[in-house]
Amino acid sequence: MRPPAGVADRVSSTMSPERIKRIGVLTGGGDCPGLNAVIRAVAKTAMLQYGIEVMGIEDGFLGLVENRVRPLTFKDVSGILTRGGTILGSNNKCNPRRFATGTAADGSPIFSNVTPQCLDSIRAHRLDAIIVIGGDGTMAAASTFVHAGINVIGIPKTIDNDLVGTEISFGFLTAVATATEALDRLHSTADSHHRVMVCEVMGRNAGWIALTAGVASGSDMILIPEIPYDEGSIASYINRRMDSGPGFAIVVVAEGATSRGGSQSVARIDLSSSEPIRLGGIGQRVADSIAARTSAEVRTTVLGHIVRGGTPIAADRILATNFGFHAMKVLMEGARGRLVVRESNAYGDIDLLTSAGQQRRVSPGNPLITAARAIGTSFGDSEELSSVLPGSSGASSPSAVW
């Protein structure tokens, strides 16, 4: 990764900063807390620091397809720092290279490449560059415009925290805070009724939300896609905790988690979307397995889109503001096709194409996993407690661990 100040080796065919008079900004993919904070930072920096006009592209790339682009005034972007969602709207189905334009006789969608329409919109509104705010799917769609010669600067947005090239994306910390609060509430009711509470959280193929919120809430078991779980190990752990421990358990499950040798739980398939697989149902599957293998009373909660909503916490507001400022800074330094990132707590930028369509997943050796295992948290892959119980061969009473 290159720090923003090191611009000498960027693409040589850059647009001179003084030629940039008008930019577009769009928010693509799923919504998340902090989108408005980024729009605010981009627009205010453009207007106040560089005298650049800012055009808002509505509903992600769909706004370019349908030519729905409007000016953003200083008033439009004032007072929106604390608001959740996005004032521009978003869309997680529109990929201009594969856009559903009709329905075939068998009911399946017909896809077309509508990139030319998007380019017409860009030319019609005289956009010298586009600030694209989104995750891996949005950046994959944005790569189409990079290849077409449009200057695109990306800003990483996803509650899943799975964008390659950056250690964090805005929206993630608020999602974790929301999930943690929910798990805290489940803790008290689980304790009162001596139940096992299984909570399913978002994250797609990455376990960042489940891992982080699970550790923050003191969850007893964390199941993530990167560590396939074993139903027997889960049952053994639950039995020990219910019989000799505190008599209740909190299990947080990432929506993409799988059993050893099993497959992900798919809620539905949306063929009209560029990402047709919709995960869901793994929480109930785990709960059913626990109920069948133990005598515990089990309940299931699915947080779903709750973790996407609400006002961003302070850390996300700051992160979003920094990302928005650095996106404009990188653009005005003459960069093209870059993604603003943060690594080792320092802001920089990388080639946008290197992160498009990829996912950053949790390493099984992540330090947070190591720390969680050390305090007795199970990841469902083995009977971790047998190695940490006091006494010889793990034969002592499990109650000493709790």
Cα separation, 231 vs 238, in Å, equals 11
**341 touches 184 (CB < 8 A):** no
Phi, psi of 267 (to 5 degrees): -80, -45
For residue 327, the 8-state DSSP code is H
Which parts of 194-275 fold into alpha helices (H)? 208-217, 231-244
Q: Which CATH superfamily is domain 173-307+362-389 in?
A: Phosphofructokinase domain (3.40.50.460)
| Distance of alpha carbon 87 from alpha carbon 38, whole angstroms | 11
Q: What is the pLDDT along the chain (402 residues), one digit of tens a residue?
A: 444 343 333 333 345 566 899 999 999 988 899 999 999 999 999 999 999 999 999 999 999 999 999 999 999 999 999 999 999 999 888 889 988 888 888 888 888 999 999 999 999 999 999 999 999 889 999 999 999 999 999 999 999 999 999 999 999 999 999 999 999 999 999 999 999 999 999 998 999 999 999 999 999 999 999 999 999 999 999 999 998 878 999 999 999 999 998 888 887 777 666 677 778 899 999 999 999 999 999 999 999 999 999 999 999 999 999 999 999 999 999 999 999 999 999 999 999 998 877 889 999 999 999 999 999 999 999 755 444 433 334 433 333 333
| 9 tagged catalytic | no
State the catalytic residue, choosing from 31, 59, 128, 160: 160
Domains 17-170+312-354 and 173-307+362-389 share a fold: yes
Nearest CA-CA partner of 124 in 70, 72, 67 = 67
pLDDT attached to residue 392? 33
Q: Residue 331 is inside which H or E element, if any? A: helix 314-332
pLDDT at res. 356? 78
Contact yes or no for 158/136 (Cβ under 8 A): yes
Facing residues of 333 across strands? Answer: none
222 CB-near residues (< 8 Å, 6+ apart): 207, 210, 211, 214, 215, 251, 252, 372, 377, 378, 379, 380
- pLDDT at position 16 is 57
pLDDT of residue 365: 93
CA-to-CA separations, 35 to 96, 162, 272, in angstroms, rounded: 22, 17, 25
**The pLDDT of residue 229:** 96
What is the pLDDT, as a whole number, of residue 110?
87
Q: What is the pLDDT of residue 185?
A: 96
- The closest alpha carbon to 362, from 234, 224, 252, belongs to 224
SS3 138: helix
Contact 332, 17 (CB under 8 A): yes
The CATH number, out of the four listed (3.10.580.10, 3.40.50.450, 3.10.20.30, 1.10.260.40), of the domain defined by the range 17-170+312-354: 3.40.50.450
Q: List own/partner pairs for 43-48 with CB under 8 A and 24 or more apart.
A: 43/72, 43/74, 43/76, 43/77, 44/74, 44/77, 45/324, 45/325, 45/328, 45/329, 46/328, 47/74
| Helix residue ranges per DSSP H, 101-247 | 115-124, 136-147, 172-193, 208-217, 231-244
The whole-number pLDDT of residue 367 equals 96
Backbone angles phi, psi at 361, to 5 degrees: -110, 170
> Residue ranges per domain, the chain?
17-170+312-354, 173-307+362-389
Distance separating alpha carbons of residues 86 and 63, to the nearest angstrom: 14
Report pLDDT for 6: 37
